[in-house]
Structure 1
Amino acid sequence: MVPRGTVSTVKNYKRGNITAAFGVDLFIHGSTSIPNLLLKLYKDMGISDTEMMLLIQLFRLFTEENNYLPSADLLYEHLSGNIAQINRDLENLISNGMLKITDFYDAERDIVIQGYDFEPIFEKLSEIWACARVKQHEAIKKITENKLKKPFNLYKSFEKEFGRPLSPMEIEQIARWSQKMPPVMVLEALRRAVMLGKHNFKYIDSILLEWEKNNFLTPEQVEDYDRQFKMKHNDNKKTPSNGRRKTNQNDDKKNMLESLYMS
């Protein structure tokens, strides 16, 4: 029989109700909250797996048992490493600026006690987090600027060459081209169409379809293809011995483009 004025720490459960008993104990003993950010970034902070497990036990003892400065012997009861390993991990955490021993005021007992201070580890975590956020924002900014810059240049180039604002359907067509081909290739197709006096989207689309079919992704590839075509065209063409009209380089270029892309 339990004496009057005392509380029993062991509860009698009905036979076969072990699951409920486990659930009650699970609730009574509570839980230790570890920030996901710490679990995600602790390796970036230079903390080893055994040091992280040690920190988790220190958190638990601090919050559950109000044990601010547990001994290596006590920690050994809850960790898989030996006492020498535990001491090494504690020394590493302190020397690397993740932990420090400081004074705490115990208001109930009106005394000052020493314990592990976790403030340094969260300062270090905030630095790692801030650096990661800066890199993330820079990456997002770069991607956003590229997305805005490329279509903007394309739209302005088309409006300049066409001498008028673009319609919504034309803007949508340019966007579709940019998804299939590098923007520089769309600009090159526009340049070639203008050179031939073909200020229409249908003709530009035929040029890009031809390049897509041949898997051309750079203007250099197109220029190489043009040179090969020109050489083949000249070899097959019968040249009169006299009386040939001289043409300038631009005319030659225009004639070649007409042969390539105009039906």
Structure 2
Amino acid sequence: MAAQHNEKIIKCDQKVNITATFGSDLVLEGATSIPNILLKTYNQIGISDFQMLLLIQMIRLNVEKKEYYPNPEMLAEYMEADPPRINREISILLEKEIITTSEYYDSGRKVIFKGYDFEPLFLKVSDIWAGIRAREIEESEKLLKIMVNSRDFTDIKFHNKTVGLIPIFENEFGRALSPIEVEQIEQWAEEAEARLIVEALKQAVLRGKHNFKYINSILAEWKRNNLQTLEAIAEYDREFQNRRSGRAIRGGEAGAGTVAAGNKNNSRKKEFIKTLYI
């Protein structure tokens, strides 16, 4: 049943720009907002792809046309299905208690009418969301406990990279992260394994560099050298230290040779001076 008239008002002016008219209708016709969390979790609720599309059409008619109780024939106009199938699918949704029917009161017209109620659907979605969030919080608390008790990064396992990384950074920095810093971590998490990000944080902390710019430079260096595991990073660091030690030794030998040569030249000068005065 519609709570109000749905006739469309059409502009009478014949001189219209079709592109502008389309743009105008695009705005004036409105939009149907479907939560992303519903689109991501409807299969967990037991809703089929067809039933999800059916629900979207029912919600659209509810919002756009004020059709709170659309019949199968009306819904069939917008779907590739006949009214009998639509009727069966609605019956399944009602049986699964994904939707229900309720009575509504139209205060303007002073009438009570029947309509589909989507509250059970969103209640089920909220239950799934709460379960996901509870697991994320539990995981974060476990990570924080590991950090506080052992300060050992090697055994940390991540389910959600960003959720797992944020408390680790906040613990090391001793403060809450800013939105920009959280966004930076999200960007790192898209490009690198969580273990590598934590290792970069660890190296920065050990060097007394508590800033994101330094951590970013470490990750960029590893990316340039295609270092994708902790083992590869450790080997890279060993080779770097060996090269630096080798340069120091060679530099020391060269310096010693220069000193020896200088001493020899000084002795020759002294001998030459003696020949002049003795």
TM category, shorter:
0.5 to 0.7
TM-score, length of structure 2 as denominator length: 0.51
User: Percent of pairs identical after alignment?
Assistant: 37
The answer (yes or no) to whether the contact 1:34–1:56 under 8 Å persists in 2 is yes
The 2-side partners of 1:11 and 1:91 are apart by: 43
The 2-side partners of 1:123 and 1:8 are apart by: 37
The 1-side partners of 2:146 and 2:88 are apart by: 49
Inter-CA distance 26–152: structure 2 relative to 1 (3 Å threshold): closer
The DSSP-based 3-state class of the residue aligned with 2:135 is helix
Q: CA deviation at 1:141?
A: 1.9
Match of 2:206 among 157, 160, 172: 172
Matched residue count: 162
Q: CA deviation at 1:137?
A: 1.1
Q: CA deviation at 1:71?
A: 0.5
Amino acid corresponding to residue 144 of structure 1 in structure 2: L
The 2-side partners of 1:108 and 1:36 are apart by: 33
Inter-CA distance 50–149: structure 2 relative to 1 (3 Å threshold): same
The answer (yes or no) to whether the contact 2:146–2:152 under 8 Å persists in 1 is no
Matching of residue 59 in structure 1 with residue 93 in structure 2: no
The DSSP-based 3-state class of the residue aligned with 2:44 is coil
Tell me the residue number matched to 1:222.
none
The 2-side partners of 1:66 and 1:104 are apart by: 12
Q: Hey, which of these two has a bigger chunk of helix by percent?
A: 2
Tell me the residue number matched to 2:15.
14
Q: CA deviation at 1:102?
A: 1.0
Structure 2 residue runs without a partner (length 5+): 1-7, 154-202, 208-228, 232-237, 239-278
The answer (yes or no) to whether the contact 1:69–1:116 under 8 Å persists in 2 is yes
Tell me the residue number matched to 1:40.
40
Inter-CA distance 19–150: structure 2 relative to 1 (3 Å threshold): same
TM-score, length of structure 1 as denominator length: 0.54
The DSSP-based 3-state class of the residue aligned with 1:51 is helix
Structure 1 residue runs without a partner (length 5+): 1-6, 154-168, 174-178, 182-208, 210-263
The answer (yes or no) to whether the contact 1:13–1:21 under 8 Å persists in 2 is no
Give 1 or 2 for the bigger CA radius of gyration: 1
Amino acid corresponding to residue 41 of structure 2 in structure 1: L
The DSSP-based 3-state class of the residue aligned with 2:115 is strand
